[in-house]
């Protein structure tokens, strides 16, 4: 007999004579003549109530069906007597597949998120994490849907790379060299030509540079994959391994890039509301009471836009005392970003045209900017509660400007020879951005720590599981 998922059973249009369900026991309550079992199989937030009659031959097994045990139930789907749910199952056969004794850590009581992180192998069985990972799966699907509907081509950019896409140097090395006894050159330095790939290699920080190759051939492309940062950031918004979505669009300028980013973020929110309504209700009830109102508010209004220079003036006029005082030329810190989006604009805001020196080498120098206040066509989308969720830019398509940018950032041209070729042969204006998938999930679920929206968090000092 074929298994029915709880989600489908709960949506049944009428009673059924025989149905097979398999899942895990959330709770069991024993009365004199029956036991009530709440069965959950992860297909949706809700469980299905199973009634096992004490006269059933299999009733002897019920005692082993403790919280956490896996069970199979075959029986009748009938209209529920009690309130709260439409259907329940009256068991005809009841089997315990795998017991779980009293040491099972997810007994029915509230656990802290910190504790649940320590049992990341079991936490998907909790209501909260089941909901988070269903939303994660749905939004991954929606990412592809958004771009495929718009004629974008999905490009698989490499995970192992020799180039530093951000030019920031916070990369994890990939090597098969014997660390205790590495091959040496005659000068006594480590001989990287003897390494697996014949050169120094790393885990990628971004697929952007390779996406640019494809955008200058296929016009509209996107990547969606894991990226890695070896920054020693201990915050609730940084992970060492995270997933990033990076569209890259030929013949598109910074304004077009900001428009695409805004419609993408709104599309993902709408998709989650449509397809994960029960899970979002759960977050709104137990995680973040403001969630529903905030998401609706964000959908209804156009995102605000303000230049970096205006942003610095707003911060200076705010009357706030900043932990990091900000003057033109400084990077915006999290406290500044959050002030702009949460207190000043009270809305998502895209800050654009940042000082050249604090942004990546590949960003396009703004036409007509003052020589002593050079800016590049960068844009960061900031959202309430999180801060930066998207970083993007118009790319420098002019060869000489790009070379100057590389010199400014002390990058060697020989490491980027193919990237420079894109400007030598049929160069075009083009733009793109990166959306941090986990930060988007935090925004949509209200979950405050990045460690709780990724199945197995990699952060400095932790790589369990």
Residues contributing to the site for ligand 4AD (CB under 6 A): 165-166, 206, 208, 229, 238-239, 242, 244, 246, 388-393, 432-434, 436, 438-439, 450
How far apart CA 49 and CA 81 sit, in angstroms, is 11
Q: Are 125 and 110 in contact (CB under 8 A)?
A: no
Nearer to ligand 4AD, 70 or 304 (CB): 304
Nearer to Mg ion, 377 or 391 (CB): 391
Q: Are 282 and 461 in contact (CB under 8 A)?
A: no
CB of 392 to ligand 4AD, least distance (A): 4
Task: Take residue 6 and report the two structure tokens written for it.
Answer: 């709880």
CB of 378 to Mg ion, least distance (A): 8
Q: Are 48 and 21 in contact (CB under 8 A)?
A: yes
CB of 444 to ligand 4AD, least distance (A): 13
204 binds, among Mg ion, ligand 4AD, none (CB under 5 to 8 A by kind): none
Residue 311's nearest CA partner among 290, 326, 296 is 326
Nearer to Mg ion, 210 or 380 (CB): 380
Nearer to Mg ion, 166 or 210 (CB): 166
Q: Are 390 and 433 in contact (CB under 8 A)?
A: yes
CB of 401 to ligand 4AD, least distance (A): 17
Looking at residues 77 to 106 of the shown chain, list those that interact with Mg ion (rule: CB under 5 A).
none
Q: Are 272 and 437 in contact (CB under 8 A)?
A: no
How far apart CA 48 and CA 63 sit, in angstroms, is 19
Cα 298–Cα 304–Cα 309 angle in degrees, nearest 5 = 145
Looking at residues 423 to 462 of the shown chain, list those that interact with Mg ion (rule: CB under 5 A).
none
Task: Take residue 39 and report the two structure tokens written for it.
Answer: 């069965």
209 binds, among Mg ion, ligand 4AD, none (CB under 5 to 8 A by kind): none
Nearer to Mg ion, 406 or 435 (CB): 435
238 binds, among Mg ion, ligand 4AD, none (CB under 5 to 8 A by kind): ligand 4AD
CB neighbour class for 409 (10 Å; exposed up to 12, middle 13-18, buried from 19): middle
CB neighbour class for 122 (10 Å; exposed up to 12, middle 13-18, buried from 19): middle
Beta strands in 199-338 (DSSP E): 201-203, 220-228, 241-250, 304-307
CB of 54 to ligand 4AD, least distance (A): 53
129 binds, among ligand 4AD, Mg ion, none (CB under 5 to 8 A by kind): none
Within 13 Å and on the Cβ side, how many CA atoms surround 130?
A: 16
CB of 398 to ligand 4AD, least distance (A): 18
Phi-psi region of 341 (alpha: psi -120 to 50; beta: other; left: phi over 0): alpha
Residue 208's nearest CA partner among 271, 161, 143, 278 is 161
Q: Is 387 in the site for Mg ion (CB under 5 A)?
A: no
Q: Which stretch binds Mg ion (CB under 5 A): 218-226, 247-255, 340-348, 389-397?
A: 389-397
* Nearest residue (beta carbon) to Mg ion: 391
Nearer to ligand 4AD, 287 or 390 (CB): 390
Nearer to Mg ion, 63 or 358 (CB): 358
38 binds, among Mg ion, ligand 4AD, none (CB under 5 to 8 A by kind): none
Q: Which stretch binds Mg ion (CB under 5 A): 36-44, 76-84, 332-340, 388-396?
A: 388-396
Beta bridge partners of 48: 39
CB of 352 to Mg ion, least distance (A): 13
CB of 155 to ligand 4AD, least distance (A): 12
Nearer to ligand 4AD, 26 or 144 (CB): 144
H/E stretch holding 6: helix 6-10
CB of 168 to Mg ion, least distance (A): 10
Task: Take residue 274 and report the two structure tokens written for it.
Answer: 């449509």
Single out the residue of 391, 392, 436, 446 in contact with Mg ion (rule: CB under 5 A): 391
206 binds, among Mg ion, ligand 4AD, none (CB under 5 to 8 A by kind): ligand 4AD
Q: Are 431 and 254 in contact (CB under 8 A)?
A: yes
CB of 209 to ligand 4AD, least distance (A): 8
Q: Which stretch binds Mg ion (CB under 5 A): 11-19, 177-185, 391-399, 418-426?
A: 391-399
Q: Are 268 and 436 in contact (CB under 8 A)?
A: no
CB of 196 to ligand 4AD, least distance (A): 25
* Eight-state DSSP code of residue 244: E
Residue 136's nearest CA partner among 230, 42, 47 is 42
Phi-psi region of 39 (alpha: psi -120 to 50; beta: other; left: phi over 0): beta
**Site residues for Mg ion per CB under 5 A:** 391
């Amino acid at each position: 007999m074929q298994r029915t998922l709880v989600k489908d059973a709960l949506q049944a249009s009428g009673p059924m004579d025989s149905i097979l369900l398999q899942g895990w026991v959330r709770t069991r309550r024993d009365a004199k003549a029956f036991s009530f079992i709440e069965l959950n199989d992860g297909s949706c937030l809700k469980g299905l109530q199973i009634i096992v009659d004490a006269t059933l031959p299999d009733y002897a097994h019920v005692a082993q069906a403790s919280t956490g045990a896996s069970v199979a139930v075959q029986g009748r789907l009938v209209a529920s007597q009690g309130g709260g749910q439409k259907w329940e199952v009256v068991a005809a056969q009841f089997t315990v597949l795998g017991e779980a004794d009293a040491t099972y850590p997810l007994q029915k009581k509230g656990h802290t998120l910190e504790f649940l992180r320590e049992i990341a192998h079991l936490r998907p069985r909790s209501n909260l994490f089941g909901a988070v990972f269903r939303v994660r799966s749905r939004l991954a699907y929606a990412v592809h849907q958004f771009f495929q509907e718009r004629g974008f081509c999905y490009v698989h950019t490499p995970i192992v790379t020799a180039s530093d896409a951000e030019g920031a140097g916070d990369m994890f090395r990939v090597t098969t060299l014997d660390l205790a006894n590495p091959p040496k050159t005659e000068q006594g330095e480590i001989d990287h030509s003897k390494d697996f790939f014949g050169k120094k290699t790393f885990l990628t920080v971004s697929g952007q540079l390779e996406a640019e190759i494809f955008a200058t051939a296929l016009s509209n492309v996107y990547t969606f994959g894991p990226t890695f940062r070896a920054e020693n950031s201990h915050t609730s918004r940084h992970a060492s391994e995270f997933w990033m979505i990076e569209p890259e669009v030929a013949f598109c300028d910074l304004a077009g890039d900001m428009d695409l980013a805004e419609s993408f973020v709104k599309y993902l929110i709408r998709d989650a509301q449509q397809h994960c309504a029960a899970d979002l209700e759960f977050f709104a009830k137990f995680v973040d009471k403001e969630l529903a109102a905030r998401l609706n508010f964000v959908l209804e209004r156009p995102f605000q836009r303000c230049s970096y220079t205006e942003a610095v003036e707003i911060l200076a006029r705010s009357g706030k005392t900043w932990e990091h005082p900000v003057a033109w030329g400084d990077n915006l810190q999290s406290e500044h970003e959050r002030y702009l989006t949460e207190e000043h604009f009270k809305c998502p805001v895209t800050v654009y045209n940042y000082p050249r020196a604090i942004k990546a080498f590949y960003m396009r120098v703004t036409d007509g900017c003052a020589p002593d206040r050079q800016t590049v066509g960068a844009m960061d989308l900031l959202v309430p509660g999180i801060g930066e969720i998207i970083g993007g830019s118009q790319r420098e398509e002019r060869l000489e400007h790009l070379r100057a940018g590389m010199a400014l950032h002390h990058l060697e041209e020989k490491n980027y020879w193919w990237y420079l070729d894109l400007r030598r042969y049929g160069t075009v204006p083009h733009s793109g951005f990166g959306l941090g998938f986990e930060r988007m999930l935090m925004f949509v679920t209200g979950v405050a720590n990045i460690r709780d929206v990724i199945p197995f968090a990699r952060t400095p000092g932790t790589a369990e599981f």
